[in-house]
Amino acid sequence: MRDVAATADIVRGIAAKSGNIPLSVLPWTAIGEYPKMIQLMGLVYYWVFLFVSLLGSFIIANVMTMVILERKREIGILMSMGMPRNRILKLFLAEGTMLGLAGSVAGTLAGLGFIMVLARKGFDMTSAMKGFSWPLDNVIYPSVTPGTIFLGIAMGTAVSAAISYLPSRRAARMVPVDAIRSV
């Protein structure tokens, strides 16, 4: 149920229909440690996502910086032949974006393969859930939606494009004579 506000109304409706049957109807937020566990998992997922995003951003920035440093002479030659600075910037932004797209697609395909295996076999959380009142099966069968796949690829590509901006700007600001001479 996605509408949390409607939960109380539904609980009251079920309780009213139970009649004289001794039935206790509680919303999921009032059952044991389950809501706390969901909140804790959400917090852990947030920090893991943040860490992985920062790590990926540093790797992308490092790769783009190395690409620019290795091609410093070529950049100098292109600029000395009249290529405008904004075109150099766009060239390296496009390269960073394409690298991000390729990496996002490859990562998504690897993740889909992993999820397909887990969807068949399941992920057994029995030992990790000892001591918790968990109203669900301890074996989790993950699934993925097309929207999640698209979001992952789009976010990876967007982060790559954004992180590529600083190294690309650095390439566009090179002095042609110094760039040619530095190698």
Q: What is the residue extent of each domain of the chain?
A: 55-181
Lowest mean pLDDT among 11-20, 52-61, 63-72, 100-109: 11-20
Supply the pLDDT for residue 95: 93
6 versus 96: which is more confidently predicted? 96
Cα angle 115, 118, 123; round to 5: 130
Please name the residues in contact with 88: beta carbons below 8 A apart, sequence gap of 6 or more.
Answer: 75, 78, 79, 168, 171, 172, 174
Lowest mean pLDDT among 4-8, 63-67, 122-126, 147-151: 4-8
Identify which of 99, 84, 97, 63 has the alpha carbon closest to the alpha carbon of residue 174: 84
pLDDT at 16 over 90: no
pLDDT at 23 over 90: no
Supply the pLDDT for residue 178: 85
pLDDT at 1 over 90: no
Supply the pLDDT for residue 12: 72
